């Protein structure tokens, strides 16, 4: 009992330091509202977004604290697998509800948002303060290579698929399962490469060190468990309300999945990436943005395919809407082109942001029945 009080104290201290955590008040408010006014979709949508943001920050901090305690390799592994826990929980909730369109849109959107918006805004914010900035391009190239592989894997089912016959569906499903396994293997071997055999190449990338002191391991583990449950509960309300709220706001489902869900899910990482850019620690920003994108592409997306066999009404495949494939392909190419030199200035960030804006505008205007 005294232990619990100590934990609570640490947590409250944390909340006092980080103003974003005041938003935690919206978690009980949301649950109350969901009980009292289950039909108020727009209200529930806004409340669930406000509730997810602080939970994502806590989850991110808890993961890092556990990682910091468990030593380098296990810590790196933990960070690399749980870094996008928020996205994973939201998508798994949508999966359980059978909303595969939303799941796929949020996966594609997360890749595009992390590479174009998070990286672009980091370059732009950093560039407003510093004339030019440098970063370790080995990290960037490595992540761009992983992203390239994942993009090919997500492109192939659309590129070779035929009419919607039963044979074609079975083929796409088998192929998706194979691709999922292959991507997870590639992700695992990529960690062996970057954390073990060739770690010295990635040395200057200070990813993971956000400068805050890590929590005690007990608090970290308890937070990790408790907050994951809370995120799952909040996500359920979020997923239920998002489509109808979208209509109320005049947004297309494609825009909601691709842009809104992706931005909400990545809010915690963004805060860290932007703060790194402002402190001229661009290695941190590049590591978070591209690492997060490749983790979603090579780990979260395939895990969702595997989970769909357990959680979903029918198995999910990796065949994306062609427009989403084009956007992921463009995002990967843009990342490759831009990170080629290891130098950045404000206009480099602006170019990435402009490409993101083009995609956001397209999805916003897209007639509802499209994807």
The residue from 5, 131, 213, 250 that contacts a copy of itself (CB under 8 A) is 131
Burial of 348 (0-12, 13-18, 19+ CB in 10 A): buried
Work out whether 370 is an interface residue with a copy of itself (CB under 8 A): yes
Of 153 and 268, CB closest to a copy of itself: 153
What is the C-alpha to C-alpha distance for residues 285 and 323, in angstroms, rounded to an integer? 28
Work out whether 326 is an interface residue with a copy of itself (CB under 8 A): yes
CA dihedral 48, 51, 57, 59 (to 10 degrees): -80
In this chain, which stretch among 14-22, 23-31, 175-183, 272-280 interacts with a copy of itself, using CB under 8 A?
175-183
Quote the least distance from Cβ 110 to a copy of itself, whole Å: 19
- Report yes or no: 184 and 302 within 8 Å, Cβ to Cβ: yes
In this chain, which stretch among 8-16, 91-99, 166-174, 282-290 interacts with a copy of itself, using CB under 8 A?
166-174
Of 181 and 217, CB closest to a copy of itself: 181
What is the C-alpha to C-alpha distance for residues 65 and 83, in angstroms, rounded to an integer? 12
Tell which positions 140-159 bind a copy of itself, by CB under 8 A.
141-142, 144-146, 148-149, 152-153, 155-156, 159
Quote the least distance from Cβ 336 to a copy of itself, whole Å: 6
Tell which positions 188-227 bind a copy of itself, by CB under 8 A.
189-190, 193, 197-198, 201
Structure tokens belonging to residue 38: 């289950």
- Report yes or no: 228 and 82 within 8 Å, Cβ to Cβ: no
Tell which positions 29-48 bind a copy of itself, by CB under 8 A.
none
- Report yes or no: 284 and 165 within 8 Å, Cβ to Cβ: no
- Report yes or no: 344 and 124 within 8 Å, Cβ to Cβ: no
Work out whether 342 is an interface residue with a copy of itself (CB under 8 A): no
CA distances from 266 to 61, 124, 162, 354 (A): 14, 18, 34, 19
In this chain, which stretch among 70-78, 85-93, 308-316, 355-363 interacts with a copy of itself, using CB under 8 A?
355-363
Work out whether 322 is an interface residue with a copy of itself (CB under 8 A): yes
Strand, coil or helix: 250: coil
Q: Would you give the end-to-end CA distance of the chain in angstroms?
A: 53
Contacting residues for 299 by C-beta, under 8 A, at least 6 apart: 80, 81, 84, 183, 184, 187
The residue from 25, 160, 248, 314 that contacts a copy of itself (CB under 8 A) is 160
The residues that touch a copy of itself, with contacts defined as CB under 8 A, are 131-132, 141-142, 144-146, 148-149, 152-153, 155-156, 159-160, 162, 167-168, 171, 174-175, 178-179, 182, 186, 189-190, 193, 197-198, 201, 322-323, 326, 330, 333-334, 336-338, 340-341, 345-348, 350-351, 354-355, 357-359, 361-362, 365-367, 370
């Amino acid at each position: 009992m005294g232990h619990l009080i100590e934990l609570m104290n640490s947590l409250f201290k944390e909340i006092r330091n980080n103003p974003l955590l005041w938003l935690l008040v919206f978690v009980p408010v949301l649950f109350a509202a969901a009980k009292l006014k289950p039909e108020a979709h727009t209200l529930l949508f806004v409340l669930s977004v406000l509730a997810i943001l602080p939970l994502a920050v806590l989850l991110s901090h808890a993961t890092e604290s556990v990682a910091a305690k468990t030593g380098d390799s296990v810590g790196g592994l933990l960070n690399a697998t749980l870094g996008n826990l928020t996205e994973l929980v939201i998508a798994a909730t949508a999966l359980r509800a059978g909303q595969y369109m939303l799941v796929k849109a949020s996966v594609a959107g997360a890749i595009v948002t992390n590479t174009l918006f998070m990286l672009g805004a980091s370059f732009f914010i950093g560039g407003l303060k510093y004339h030019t900035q440098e970063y370790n391009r080995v990290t960037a190239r490595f992540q761009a290579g992983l992203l390239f592989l994942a993009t090919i894997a997500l492109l192939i089912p659309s590129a070779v698929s035929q009419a919607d016959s039963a044979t074609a569906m079975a083929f796409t499903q088998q192929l998706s399962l194979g691709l999922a396994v292959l991507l997870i293997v590639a992700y695992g071997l990529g960690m062996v490469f970057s954390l073990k055999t060739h770690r010295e190449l990635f040395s200057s990338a200070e990813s993971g060190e956000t400068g805050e002191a890590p929590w005690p391991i007990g608090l970290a583990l308890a937070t990790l468990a408790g907050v994951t449950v809370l995120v799952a509960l909040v996500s359920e309300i979020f997923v239920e309300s998002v489509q109808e709220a979208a209509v109320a706001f005049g947004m297309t489902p494609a825009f909601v999945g691709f842009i809104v869900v992706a931005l909400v899910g990545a809010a915690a990482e963004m805060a860290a990436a932007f703060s790194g850019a402002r402190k001229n620690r661009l290695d941190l920003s590049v590591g978070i943005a591209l690492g997060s994108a490749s983790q979603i592409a090579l780990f979260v997306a395939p895990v969702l395919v595997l989970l769909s066999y357990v959680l979903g009404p029918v198995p999910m495949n990796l065949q994306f809407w062609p427009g989403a494939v084009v956007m992921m392909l463009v995002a990967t190419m843009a990342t490759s082109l831009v990170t080629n030199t290891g130098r950045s200035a404000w206009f480099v960030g602006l170019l990435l942001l402009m490409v993101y804006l083009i995609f956001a505008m397209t999805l916003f205007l897209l007639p509802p029945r499209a994807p």
